[in-house]
Structure 1
Amino acid sequence: MTGLLLAIEGGDGAGKATAAAEVAAQLNAAGRSATVLSFPRYAETLGGHVLGEYLGGRLPHAASPRAIATLYALDRFESAAVIAEATARHEVVVFDRYIASNMAYQAAQVGPGEARDLMGWIARLEVEQFGLPLPDLSLYLDTPVEVARGLILRKRKRSYTDEALDTYEADMALQARVRANYAAMAAEGLLGRWATVSTLADGALRSPREIAGEIVGLLV
């Protein structure tokens, strides 16, 4: 059995972890074996550990977007066996962040003239050099930055930081550029098939159950 790979993407606070868990729960309830893998894997990989130090503001020096992109890719490369086992055991593997997240965030930290080249470089690193499988569907959870920030502040304590907001979450301008990058990648079909699901309806947050139900309906 080869599992379908569903990558749930979006900016910080978009509700990716909640949506991923609810999608897997609905699939399992319907008799379709599903599991969730979340990236970065802060406690399980070298790349994830160093990323935790970076996002927690504990690295002793600055790092370039390409260096940070390599750490995110390394985290997944170190997780290749875990991904392979999950796809062998389950009908659907739901990623809480995947390759597109690396592309959206690192491209948001360079000028517009460099962003597309950096996205391509990251895609080649993860897919061609590290041999990571492309997702069958990337699902973009579209959440306005202001709404997402409020949701971030309601998160439980994370393992890698004692602060309410990590390095990326605290930068509202960065989050706006990330949102624009995701919208562009979805529109252009980078990395394959995309779908966009809004987390709001008539200005109010939709329930996780409703959002997940829409996502499950896209899996054919």
Structure 2
Amino acid sequence: MTRTALTALRTCLVTMLLTGLLYPLAITGAAQLMFPHQADGSLVLDPRDSTKVLGSELIGQRFVHPGYLHSRPSAAGKAGWDAAASSGSNLGPTSSALRERIDGELVRLIAENPDAPGPVPAELLTASGSGLDPHLSPDAARWQVPRIAASRGVKAERVHAVVEAALEGREFGMLGEPRINVLLVNLALDRQFGLPTE
């Protein structure tokens, strides 16, 4: 019995050492060597102060000023945008709460974007699975261009050019869909046109 217990204990200790220490260290080291920016969270630093983190390319943020590209709604946490409570709303297609939220978003978006072309893109009405998606489809970003241009007092074509320059294609040319990172576009808008006025 004692011999079996010692063998089990040794096996447990070796397994814990391998999977709890050596494997994580090896993966962390490899990630830092091959993908240091991504391994550190894809942080976006302020170009004027490299010690100030503005956000991450991987975590969405809420933007409400009309001079910025707006993210899709967030269901992460009670008030949304809580990175510690990342999740979708879990509301089904027959949910009256979901219908009320979408109706409210639709009214708000139409009021905020009176010159937007065509119907409101569905993703601007619904939260993503994580509730913190940092990307929009190109169509959802383009739909917001007239509002951004009017707020910043520039021609829509100039804002459109900034949005198009930020277009990210499919990974390896075949995985995922084309997308636009909201934070990166908003920073590019500030670089191109300055900070929006109140």
Which of the pair has more CA radius of gyration? 2
TM-score w.r.t. length of structure 2: 0.29
What is the TM-score with the length of structure 1 in the denominator?
0.27
Structure of higher RCO (CA pairs closer than 8 Å, 6+ residues apart): 1
